[in-house]
Amino acid sequence: MNILEYLNVKGHVTVHKVFDDGNEELVYDDHNVIVSGMGLALASFFGLSGATSILDYQIDRFQVGVSGVTANEVTSTNALFGPLSSSFEYTGEFGDILTVSANQFAGSFISDTVWYGKIPAHNMTRINDRSVRYTITLDKSSCNDLTRDGSSANINELGLFMKNPLNILPNGAPILVAYKVISNIRKTEDFGLIFRWTITF
């Protein structure tokens, strides 16, 4: 039995479109995959072999991507397949997502610098003794009209990342801990998106 099975870590994500009048439209609702990175991070925590600061074990960043397919939704997934490639793809000219760049620990290697959206502390909510909900908001100006290779691209994959559990690099090497492929969403300035992602330990 691995540590994820022992701890029975689970996840669930909902996606809502949000309109100017405040109304929300549910467009996706399903469990997510807790990936092997979570097990590695928790093993480092309990084994006292990784980072020494509890802050490095926070799930405090996310990625959205455009190349998700259901076949890739497996526990061995260690990176998004088409993550947004710049701060501008996240924010556009007027979006209010806070972005950061860092390397990424992706299984057996450390990637080049990639971009993440930050999850503000006030969007991390303790639901009960075992569950935390992460609320990720893409405002109307963010992640709009994405393209890949000159063609329109839809948001269809999401990832949650732990900050720096393995303490590999001075500036951190986040690790993917939860992954989800969702239905294609063509993001435009007509609406915002809210992802509510609950992790139960």
Q: State the average pLDDT over residues 155-177.
A: 92
What is d(CA 35, CA 73) in angstroms, rounded to the nearest whole number?
9
* DSSP class of 83: B
pTM value is 0.93
Containing 36, the helix (H) or strand (E) segment is helix 36-46
Predicted local confidence at residue 168, as pLDDT? 83
Q: Who contacts 65 (Cβ-Cβ below 8 Å, separation ≥6)?
A: 80, 81, 82, 83, 84, 155, 156, 157, 158, 159
CA 129 to the chain's CA centroid: 22
What are the structure tokens assigned to 79, written together? Answer: 């990176």
Distances (CA, A) of 61 to 8, 22, 116, 177: 22, 25, 6, 11
Tens-place pLDDT, residues 57-79: 999 999 999 999 999 899 999 99
Assign residue 22 a region: left if phi > 0, alpha if psi is -120 to 50, beta otherwise?
left
- pLDDT category at 170 given cuts 50, 70, 90 is confident
> Please, is 22 exposed, middle or buried when counting C-beta atoms within 10 Å of its C-beta (0-12, 13-18, 19+)?
exposed
What are the structure tokens assigned to 104, written together? Answer: 């990424």
| DSSP letter string, 115-163 | EEEE--GGGEEE-SSSEEEEEEEE-TTSS-S-EETTEE--EEEEEEEES
Average pLDDT, the chain: 93
What is d(CA 44, CA 173) in angstroms, rounded to the nearest whole number?
14
pLDDT at 6 exceeding the cut of 90? no
- pLDDT category at 123 given cuts 50, 70, 90 is very high
Q: Enumerate the β-bridge partners of residue 162.
A: 59, 175
Tens-place pLDDT, residues 11-57: 999 999 999 999 999 999 999 999 999 999 988 888 888 898 999 99
